Amino acid sequence: MRMISAGLAAVSLMAIALSGCNREAALDPAQTGTGENTIKLAEFPDRPYWGDTHLHTDNSIDAFGFGVRLGPEEALRFARGEEVTATTGGKARLERPLDFLVIADHSDGLGATRRLYDAPRWYVQWVIGDETVLRWYDMMHEGPEGSQRAIAELITAAANDTLPEAFNDPESAREGTEDLWNDQLGLLDRYNEPGVFTAIAGFEWTLMPDGNNLHRVVMFRDGSDRTRKTLPLGGIDTTVEQLWDYMAAYEKNTGGKVLAIPHNSNVSNGLMFEMTMADGSPMTAAYAARRAAAEPVVEVTQIKGDSETHPFLSPNDEMAGFGVKGWELGNLPLTATSTPDMHAGSYARSALLRGLSLEARLGVNPYAFGMIGSTDSHTALATGDEDNFWGKHTGNEPAYKDRAMQPQNLGTREGRFGWHYLAGGYAAAWARGNTRAEIFDAFKRREVYATTGPRMTVRIFGGFDFTEADWNGDWVRAGYTRGVPMGGELIDKGRAPTFLISALKDPDGANLDRVQVVKGWLDASGAAQERVYDVVWSDMAKRPRTARGLTPVGDTVDRKTATYTNTIGAAELRSVWTDPDYAKGQRAFYYVRVIEIPTPRWTLFDAVRFGFALSPEAMADAVAQERAYTSPIWLGPPPQGTT
């Protein structure tokens, strides 16, 4: 007996000893760094690289609780196009691989639920000794439903700042985090192949005062040679300025680069894009500059809704309101409802407008951000397509056939259902090649765009002398040499700016309905204004403008079979567009919105595949026009002191 227990102790110690040693096999140095000088780069960014910057695996405290048992390695394999077996058993595969992936597990309690779940019950009972934790532990071991209930409670507790002490023990959390982080960095390097697939280090920083979502994904440019010198920063009990301090310290100490991507402003109850600083005092130029530098891009569309704009804010935009239902009701756990006065701080378009106002006052625009989409999937499966939706989390993978009709409330109030989830978005990055440095730098200069899932190719160049004749030559070169791409800034020259705009449909997807320019500006009195221009659309001769907007493109979706045809719409739309409402000295931004023809949403695919009826409300929302949002191009006066 004595022998056996000593032997058992030896076994476990041996496992610990082995897991503690350096597990890295020698890698090609090209894989472990930023990827600079590893592949031949194009002269100009030549195609959009597709990725997801917001994927959770079983290392996320909530994802594990929701039941996912796939880790970062499966996530990377799946994103690269390989088939994996989902937690609930089905075979999952992306028909088209992604080009890059950021695994963004929550830094708070990184791996904590998994460690809790793996711990012996007596350890939880005796050593942790917290009744709530023990109850969650038992619920997690009951089965998937218990696990999901436990995690819903946990998220609400985190939002209400009533997490048990055991989850807040910073030091033991750090120890657990360090092992996971280092393992993950090694894994990312192994899967990082310059020119083929880019694996990017990151984490999600989960600040959530009173349940109002202020989450950011933190994304690194570097390989493990630098990222090993830091650890993910916890979000609970910090402020956004501490995040920026952390990022600045990382850059200073390692010579590396890092940026943060806010997301789900739609459930922030107006706190994501405030006119003031986080503490309520008037915004200073220094604060605005820090925010702009640290957060050049915002994730505006993902599974938990779309944050481009809200019909309340954009009453004259007949295409406003995509992905707003359900999410507009309140903050993340629905512990506080949203009121209309909060919307301007919760949506991207109004934030871009607020940025112009603040810039006029401070000389710095805190909200001059580019836009991307991502998934925020908690299944380790980065799925963005309507016909391949693997769920927000493991509790609504396709194995749960009625998932579209199930209530999805994190807190206790009613209001959100499965069908409110979008299938998830993707990020497109215009880069000269597929490496960490190229992808990151595209984000940094905002040469990125958002889609709600489809892979349309969208370009916009702003300048002052583009003409139709440019299409006949190398117009991409013209765009880069005589103008600026999306994310760029134009300096007012006293005449209206002109834009080269091109949109190609997703080659394997639906045709395009229309291409629009969304302009926001400050009028002569300093008031913020917005307008949506239909720039080019399919069958223009047959679809005149009416008082209520363009004649609709039509709808080919068969509700019985969840199919559509590309007999309407266009494969490619492009235009040289000059701002008809330009006024000298105006501060403005311009971004492109590309709208697809109507297609079935994942809910309709589910209803047909699994043979059940959607509620009338869900059915009314079962067909949608998916879209892309580019980063804006800004127009403004020359910086002060440089006349």
Partner 1 sequence: MTLAGWAREPLVHFLGLGALLYGALTWGGTPVDPASRVITVDAAQQAQLALGFERVMGRAPTDAELDARIERFVREEVLYREALRLGLDQDDAVVRQRMVAKMDMTASAAAEIAEPTEAQLQAYFEANRARYAGARSVSFEQQLFGDRAEAVAGLAGKNGSDYLSDAGQLSSLPAEMTDAPLREVAARFGQQFASGLVQVPADGQWHGPVPSGFGWHIVRITARAAQEPDFATLRPRIANDWRSAEIAAREARAYAILREAYRVEIAR
Asked if 505 contacts 626 with a C-beta cutoff of 8 angstroms, the reply is no
What is the nearest approach in angstroms of partner 1 to the Cβ of residue 640? 39
What is the nearest approach in angstroms of partner 1 to the Cβ of residue 9? 6
Choose among 378, 371, 376: nearest CA to 347.
371
Tokens of 331: 């903050």
Choose the stretch contacting partner 1; rule: CB under 8 A; options: 153-161, 361-369, 371-379, 500-508.
500-508
Which of 97, 637 has the CB closer to partner 1? 97
Q: Does 62 bind partner 1 (CB under 8 A)?
A: no
What is the nearest approach in angstroms of partner 1 to the Cβ of residue 12? 6
Which of 522, 573 has the CB closer to partner 1? 573
- Cβ burial, residue 122 (10 Å; 0-12/13-18/19+): exposed
Choose the stretch contacting partner 1; rule: CB under 8 A; options: 209-217, 304-312, 386-394, 497-505.
497-505
Please give the full DSSP string across 611-631, using - where no structure is assigned.
T-PPPHHHHHTSEE--EEEEP
Q: Helices 348-362 and 285-294: crossing angle, nearest 10°?
A: 140
Alpha carbon 428 to chain centroid distance? 11
Distance CA 311, CA 443 (A): 28
Q: Does 8 bind partner 1 (CB under 8 A)?
A: yes
Q: Does 507 bind partner 1 (CB under 8 A)?
A: yes
Choose the stretch contacting partner 1; rule: CB under 8 A; options: 3-11, 272-280, 318-326, 552-560.
3-11
- The residue from 66, 191, 327, 426 that contacts partner 1 (CB under 8 A) is 191
Q: Which x/- pattern, by CB under 8 A, does the window 441-460 give for partner 1?
A: ----------------x-x-
Which of 288, 500 has the CB closer to partner 1? 500
Q: Which x/- pattern, by CB under 8 A, does the window 512-551 give for partner 1?
A: ----------------------------------------
- The residue from 325, 342, 571, 642 that contacts partner 1 (CB under 8 A) is 571
Work out the angle at residue 490's Cα, subtended by the Cα atoms of residues 487 and 491, and round it to the nearest 5 degrees. Answer: 150
Q: Residue 526: CA atoms inside 13 Å, Cβ hemisphere, count? A: 5
What is the nearest approach in angstroms of partner 1 to the Cβ of residue 455? 8
Choose among 142, 64, 66, 172: nearest CA to 134.
142
Which of 27, 360 has the CB closer to partner 1? 27
Choose the stretch contacting partner 1; rule: CB under 8 A; options: 123-131, 297-305, 394-402, 490-498.
123-131
Q: Does 121 bind partner 1 (CB under 8 A)?
A: yes
Q: Does 27 bind partner 1 (CB under 8 A)?
A: yes
Distance CA 65, CA 67 (A): 5
Which of 22, 642 has the CB closer to partner 1? 22
64-103 binders of partner 1 (CB under 8 A): 73, 81, 95-97, 99
Which of 199, 450 has the CB closer to partner 1? 199
Q: Does 477 bind partner 1 (CB under 8 A)?
A: no
Which of 111, 355 has the CB closer to partner 1? 111
Tokens of 209: 């005062």
Distance CA 381, CA 85 (A): 10
Q: Which helix (H) or strand (E) holds 484?
A: strand 484-485
Which of 491, 571 has the CB closer to partner 1? 571
Which of 77, 361 has the CB closer to partner 1? 77
Distance CA 372, CA 628 (A): 9
Q: Does 42 bind partner 1 (CB under 8 A)?
A: no
- The residue from 149, 164, 231, 336 that contacts partner 1 (CB under 8 A) is 231
Query: Any residues with CB less than 8 A from the CB of 404 and at least 6 apart, and which?
Result: 417, 418, 419, 602, 603, 606, 607, 614, 618
Alpha carbon 626 to chain centroid distance? 16
Residue 205 phi/psi, 5-degree rounding, is: -100, 120
Which of 459, 593 has the CB closer to partner 1? 459
Question: Which regions of 56-185 does DSSP assign to beta strands (E)?
Answer: 84-85, 91-92, 100-103
Asked if 230 contacts 180 with a C-beta cutoff of 8 angstroms, the reply is no
Q: Residue 615: CA atoms inside 13 Å, Cβ hemisphere, count? A: 12
Q: Is 220 helix (H, G, I), strand (E, B) or coil?
A: strand
Asked if 557 contacts 563 with a C-beta cutoff of 8 angstroms, the reply is yes
Q: Does 122 bind partner 1 (CB under 8 A)?
A: yes
Q: Does 7 bind partner 1 (CB under 8 A)?
A: yes
Residue 183 phi/psi, 5-degree rounding, is: -60, -45
What is the nearest approach in angstroms of partner 1 to the Cβ of residue 632? 21
What is the nearest approach in angstroms of partner 1 to the Cβ of residue 109? 15
Query: Any residues with CB less than 8 A from the CB of 520 and at least 6 apart, and which?
Result: 349, 352, 353, 356, 528, 529, 530, 588, 589
- The residue from 56, 190, 325, 343 that contacts partner 1 (CB under 8 A) is 190
| Number of Cβ within a 10 Å radius of residue 491 | 13
- The residue from 69, 93, 149, 174 that contacts partner 1 (CB under 8 A) is 174
- The residue from 4, 43, 91, 171 that contacts partner 1 (CB under 8 A) is 171
Residue 467 phi/psi, 5-degree rounding, is: -135, 170
Choose the stretch contacting partner 1; rule: CB under 8 A; options: 288-296, 387-395, 507-515, 628-636.
507-515
Residue 88 phi/psi, 5-degree rounding, is: -85, 5
Helices vs. strands in the chain: H and E counts, helices first: 19, 27
What is the nearest approach in angstroms of partner 1 to the Cβ of residue 150? 16
- The residue from 247, 261, 277, 504 that contacts partner 1 (CB under 8 A) is 504
Question: Which regions of 165-231 does DSSP assign to beta strands (E)?
Answer: 198-200, 202-205, 216-220
Please identify which residue in the block is written with the tokens 């609970």: 236
Alpha carbon 340 to chain centroid distance? 24
What is the nearest approach in angstroms of partner 1 to the Cβ of residue 183? 10
Which of 95, 341 has the CB closer to partner 1? 95
Choose the stretch contacting partner 1; rule: CB under 8 A; options: 14-22, 145-153, 205-213, 530-538.
14-22
| Number of Cβ within a 10 Å radius of residue 26 | 6
- The residue from 572, 578, 619, 637 that contacts partner 1 (CB under 8 A) is 572
What is the nearest approach in angstroms of partner 1 to the Cβ of residue 537? 17
> What is the biggest distance separating any 2 CA atoms in the chain, rounded to whole angstroms?
90
Which of 332, 568 has the CB closer to partner 1? 568
- The residue from 131, 237, 414, 508 that contacts partner 1 (CB under 8 A) is 508
Asked if 33 contacts 222 with a C-beta cutoff of 8 angstroms, the reply is yes
Which of 314, 630 has the CB closer to partner 1? 630
- Cβ burial, residue 362 (10 Å; 0-12/13-18/19+): middle
What is the nearest approach in angstroms of partner 1 to the Cβ of residue 229? 9
Interface with partner 1 by CB under 8 A: which residues? 5-15, 17-19, 21-28, 31, 47, 50, 73, 81, 95-97, 99, 118-123, 126-127, 141, 171-172, 174-175, 178, 190-191, 193, 196, 231, 457, 459, 471, 502, 504-509, 566, 571-572, 574
